[in-house]
Amino acid sequence: MMWRALSADWLKIRGKGIWFLVFLGPVGLIAMQGLNFGLRYDYLRGQYQADLWDGLLSNIASFVPIALYLGGTLVSSLIANVEHQTSAWKQLLALPVPRTAVFMAKLLLCLLLLAVSCLLLSAGTIVLGLLLGFGVQPIPYTDVLRIGFAAYAAAMPVIALQLWLSLSSRNQTLPVSVGLTLSLLSPFGLFFSEWVPLSWPDLAWSASRPWLFSGAGLLLGLLVLFPGALHFARKDVD
């Protein structure tokens, strides 16, 4: 059931601008760091000459949390608005498909789209490093993949919360406002306690045991997911 709902949702997002957002995040980050290193090439190359790739990854990593939170907010809102704007919820939920399957299909679609963004970020990082001449040192493929996907796992609670809010409210002011607020606070994540989930995407890159924060994000994301699916299954929709 969920896979049929996912296939239908995949077709619905055509022409909705969602794919533009999926590409905009990673391309924007890579372009920004390309400009940063291009304008200060000699200085930054000298500063990071011991490990050029680590210098590039560290500069990109500081902007990944805000991109994830903002991207998750906008993608969730646009996916929900496909049904809200056409008032199609009653017709959709009248079909012989469990409400939980509808919720899970939209969650999976959101996660797949954000995973594509993370993959594009990793690929773009390698391309940028090669263009900057960093190919003289071995490419740290594990760290290149970790820069996006570790933070992605750590940000899962916020992504699940954003989809829950977006699907539950016809007026997207609240979910978008919450997402924007969290995005603006995310650059200060390292100043928060490690018990604050908002800091986990940063710690998933910079902590001595980063896997703990990625794992905590996945676990808390599941804990947020269950009440969200239950609330959606019981809620009356317009």
* Gap between the Cα atoms of 37 and 85, Å rounded: 43
pLDDT at 88: 62
- The pLDDT-based confidence of 130 (bands split at 50, 70, 90) is very high
Q: How many CB atoms lie within 10 A of CB 14?
A: 8
Q: Which residues of 161-192 are buried (b: 16+ CB within 10 A; e: fewer)?
A: bbbbbbbbeeebeebbebbeebbebbeebeeb
160-182 confidence digits (pLDDT tens): 999 999 988 888 888 899 999 99
What CA–CA distance (Å, rounded) separates 52 from 135?
A: 9
pLDDT score recorded for residue 186? 86
Angle, CA 28 vertex, CA 22 and CA 31 arms, to 5°: 140
The more confidently predicted of residues 116 and 136 is: 116
Residues 196, 194: Cα–Cα separation, whole Å: 5
pLDDT band at 3; cut points 50, 70, 90:
low
Which pTM was predicted? 0.90
User: What element of type H or E holds 187?
Assistant: none
At residue 134, does pLDDT exceed 70?
Answer: yes
Domain boundaries, the chain: 2-233
pLDDT classification of 90: cutoffs 50, 70, 90? low
| pLDDT attached to residue 86 | 67
Give 165-172 contacts, CB < 8 A, sequence gap 24+: 165/76, 166/76, 166/77, 166/79, 166/80, 166/81, 167/76, 167/80, 167/103, 167/106, 167/232, 168/231, 168/232, 168/235, 170/84, 170/238, 172/77, 172/80, 172/81, 172/84
Q: Cβ distance 186 to 151 under 8 Å?
A: no
How open is the CA angle 81-113-10, to the nearest 5 degrees?
60
Q: List, for residues 44-65, the tens digit of each pLDDT value.
A: 888 988 889 999 999 999 899 9
pLDDT (0 to 100) of residue 189: 75
How far is the C-alpha of 52 from the C-alpha of 165, rounded, in Å? 41
d(CA 161, CA 163): 6
What is the phi/psi pair of residue 133, to 5°? Answer: 85, 20
Whose CA is closest to 77, among 152, 180, 149, 4?
180
pLDDT band at residue 97 using 50, 70 and 90 as cut-offs: confident
Across the range 13-23, mean pLDDT stands at 82
Q: Is the pLDDT of residue 153 over 90?
A: yes
pLDDT greater than 90 at residue 119 = yes
Residues whose CB is less than 8 angstroms from the CB of residue 150 and which lie 6 or more positions away in sequence, other chains included: 204, 205, 210, 211, 213, 214
